[in-house]
Structure 1
Amino acid sequence: MNTQQTHLIAESVPTVSRREGIATRAQFQTNDDKDMLRAARDLTKDLGEAKPAIYWTDMLVSAGIGYLGMAMAIMSANWALSIVAAVIASLALYRAVMFIHELTHIRKEALPGFRLGWNLLVGIPLLTPSFMYEGVHVIHHKRTQYGTVEDPEYLPLALMKPWSLPVFVLVALLAPIALIIRFAVLVPLGFFVPAVRNFVWQRFSALSINPEFRRKPPTGDFRKRVLWQEMAASLWAIAILLSPLVLDWRPVLIAFAIFSLTAVLNQLRTLVAHLWENEGDPMTVTAQFLDSVNVPPPGRIAELWAPVGLRYHALHHLMPSMPYHDLPEAHRRLNIELGTGSTYEGANHAGMLPLVGRIARSTMIRR
């Protein structure tokens, strides 16, 4: 494991011993479970090397199935077959899109050409180029910013009003329209009106859920990546917008429906990625871990709605740079070593529905 993976684990902090029952975030708001952090470091020293063959194969197969399913959904005259193909396409493209999360953590030299390949095959065609996550997601992992108003990926959903949960999920249905407007309309307009470009960059250039987040201007090599990715996505969005003039509305509408389903799946995953119980105070590493969610085996369905290692989201917060393909083995070792009743067990949950129920009950209890 490299230093990035262990920087959260190696802090010298007071030890909080294991306890009976399941650990909670509130118990570790000011003190870490040093035993768990040390175990996470020591038991995974031989893991952490990104394997290009796994990344490329997984991404290419997922994207290929997704685009094939989309083509079948568009061309089939049988509505039942079209719907099945659209669902398969949405699930496959969802998995392909989720590699954007890996791009923010894995060193570029570990996967030569992967960022460029992913952007050309997935990011730009689906109007989610990697710049929309790079430089943003890392803030979510910063020791003093997680769960605070500065965190672009945190909202205290469990502390909000009950109606906020369905609104949070359903607004994702509008993602295709919002991205088309951003890239096909606002980006070209911003080329002539700097104020529009600055506004779009600050407010609509990050895959964030915190409405108060304002993105800082890009600099250096990152700025160059932003320019070509944004230009390519803008040209593609304009082509999509004009395509009904050449074809008809069916391909665009079906593609939008598939992308909308993909966006809703991601929003549902986001809803249960954390317990969302922090009220804005800085948290210890252990508290961040326990506010995050693992949905480990034996359940299998989590691999569909939390792909590319995201079913081990809490473990990911302990080891942000651990490649997704090593997370199952890291979880297995920690689960065996720390055992029942450990702090580590406190982040393990049964599935999406129990988690949604827990968050929903919390919003109602607090009214």
Structure 2
Amino acid sequence: MSPQPVEARQNEKSDSAVLLKAAHRLTADLMQPNPVLYWVDLIASSGLGYGALAAAVAPTLPVPLRIAAGIIAVLALYRAILFIHELTHVRLSTLPGFWTGWNILVGIPLLTPSFFYEGVHTLHHAKTHYGTVRDPEYLPLGHNRPVELILFTFAALFFPLLLILRSLILVPLAAVIPPLRRLMVERLSALVINPEFRRPPLTPTLARRWLVLETVTCLYAWGVAALVLSGAISWTSVAIVLAIAAGIALTNQFRTLLAHHWENEGEEMDAVEQLLDTVNVPPPAMLPMLWAPVGLRYHGLHHFLPGLPYHNLGEAHRRMVTALPADNAYQQTSSTGAVEVLARLLAHQARAKELRRERKA
């Protein structure tokens, strides 16, 4: 991106302010989360997921039923895990006990306690961080090669093994080796995709939460390992659980690939530029309900109004589309589905490749 004239930048800032004002006006009554919906959704998703996981490892069930149960477990537990995203945006005082409940039901059993997102994900939304090297969740994938997208996506299959290694081995070692502990905080305790990102120092509140969650998760992991080594849990069951965990990680990486257009090369972006680089996949598309649950099919709207609870994003989107002019920037965020988003990403990669060739010529 080349430097813009001062007047153009001022006009863009004005456009951003106008759109933000309109968005807040249209959605002012939708900002309050509904605790009942959060709890029912979390309990139902985690309950269905663990029930399906139990069926998937049951040796007495026919193989087709176990495969079907495994797929249900992937989708249900994936939905349950994604409430970690809500924990970083919704004021916890409006959802009493939800932070504790989520960590007990999902974060600790799946070795992804909430500090993996807390204090990190909000940096992705910061105006001065988004799309830059300081953004933990952004890479210029629109300027890479298609083969790198494949590697980016399928690298997620190894994520469950890394979580196990972290909880079983690295956490105990970090407790007695200060340099490793610093490395764990900076590089190995956050759900990020930017390899250059270094986590900032922990706040006192987060440090206390971290200590409790890290300790309990480590003890849980060693408890499960003891059951496996004693024969109480079979290695076949372990393999099935790992396959389900890999399916969850792969689904999330696929969603991540479709969450943005990834066209920025490191420049700071205003609110509208960030909006246009982010994707909504609203109805009538149906599959995003599975691969982008808990409101993440409205990822563009979420970036514009990150305080909106997930259950109100659909209504907020309908209001925005109805009220705003057809040529408004918000209208440009919607895609028909994964194919359209991937096609744009591949087309941008092709243009970027041509530009590189022209510069070399």
Q: Same fold (TM over 0.5)?
A: yes
Offset, 1:242: 3.4
Q: Distance in 1 between matches of 2:14 and 2:244?
A: 45
Partner of 1:80: 64
Q: Within the alignment, does 1:295 sit opposite 2:281 as a pair?
A: yes
Q: In structure 2, what is the Cα distance between the partners aligned to 1:216 and 1:315? A: 27
Contact 2:133 2:196 in 1 (8 A): yes
- Structure 1 unaligned runs (5+)? 1-12, 17-27
Answer whether contact 1:180 1:237 (CA < 8 A) is retained.
Answer: yes
CA displacement 1:83-116 (0-9 Å, x = unmatched): 1000000000000000000000011110000000
Q: Measure how far apart 1:333 and its partner are.
A: 0.5
Is 1:123 paired with 2:107? yes
Report deviation, 1:194.
1.1
- Aligned residue for 2:132, secondary structure, equals coil
Q: Which of these residues, 248, 269, 278, is aligned with residue 262 of structure 1?
A: 248
Residue pair 1:14, 1:32 contacting (<8 A) in 2 also:
no
Asked if residue 186 in structure 1 is aligned to residue 170 in structure 2, the reply is yes
Contact kept in structure 2, 1:31 and 1:284, CA below 8 Å = no
1:285 and 2:271 aligned:
yes
For residues 88 and 77 of structure 2, what CA distance do their matches in structure 1 show?
19
- Of residues 195-204 and 48-57 in structure 1, the stretch that sits farther from structure 2 once superposed is 195-204
Which of 326, 331, 335 matches 2:317?
331
The structure whose residues are more often helix, as a share, is 2
Q: Is the 2:56–2:69 contact (alpha carbons within 8 Å) kept by the matching residues of 1? A: yes
TM-score, structure 2 normalization: 0.92
Change (3 A) 1:80 1:224: same
Contact 2:160 / 2:246 at 8 angstroms: preserved in 1? yes
Out of 46, 52, 67, the position equivalent to 1:69 is 52
Residue-pair matches, total? 343
Aligned partner of 2:326 in structure 1 is 340
- Counterpart of 1:205 in structure 2: which amino acid? S
Contact 1:147 1:281 in 2 (8 A): yes
Measured after TM superposition, the shift of residue 14 of structure 1 is 7.6
Instruction: Name the residue aligned to 1:41.
Output: 24
Instruction: Measure, in 1, the Cα distance between the counterparts of 2:10 and 2:317.
Output: 21
Partner of 1:211 in structure 2?
195
Distance in 2 of aligned mates of 1:202 and 1:35:
38
Query: 1:247-266 deviations in whole A, cap 9, x for unaligned?
Result: 32011111111111001000
The Cα offsets for residues 186-245 of structure 1, whole Å up to 9 and x where unpaired, read as 000111111111112111111000000011232211111000111111112223333322
* Structure 1 SS opposite 2:73: helix
CA distance in 2, matches of 1:364, 1:189: 46
Does the CA contact (< 8 Å) of 2:16 and 2:270 recur in 1? no
Q: Does 1:312 align with 2:298?
A: yes
CA contact (8 A) 1:44 1:330 kept: yes
In the TM superposition, 1:214-233 aligns within 5 A as 214-233=198-217
The structure, 1 or 2, with the larger RCO (C-alpha pairs under 8 Å, 6+ apart) is 1
Selected match of 2:157 from 173, 193, 202: 173
Structure-1 separation of matches of 2:14 and 2:255: 29
State whether structure 2 residue 336 is matched by structure 1 residue 350: yes
Query: Within 2, Cα distance between the matches of 1:33 and 1:319?
Result: 13
Match of 1:19 in 2: none
Cα deviation code 1:154-202 (max 9, x no counterpart):
0010111221100111010011100001111000011111111111211
Map of 1:22 onto structure 2: none
Could you say what secondary structure the match of 2:259 adopts?
coil
Provide the C-alpha distance between the structure 2 equivalents of 1:193 and 1:235, rounded to a whole number of angstroms: 18
What one-letter code is carried by the residue in structure 2 that aligns with 1:67? Y
The residue aligned with 1:98 is 82
CA contact (8 A) 1:52 1:110 kept: yes
Stretches of structure 2 that go unaligned for 5 or more consecutive residues are: 1-7, 354-361
CA distance in 1, matches of 2:211, 2:351: 47
Contact 1:165/1:360 (<8 A) preserved: no
1:25 paired residue number: none
Matched-pair contact (CA < 8 Å) for 1:14–1:33: no
Q: Give the TM-score normalised by structure 1.
A: 0.90
Residue 223 of structure 2: SS of its match in structure 1?
helix
- Structure 1 match to 2:261: 275
Cα separation, 2, equivalents of 1:364 and 1:236: 47
Partner of 1:132: 116
Identity score, percent:
48
Q: Does the aligned pair in 2 maintain the 1:180–1:241 contact within 8 Å?
A: no
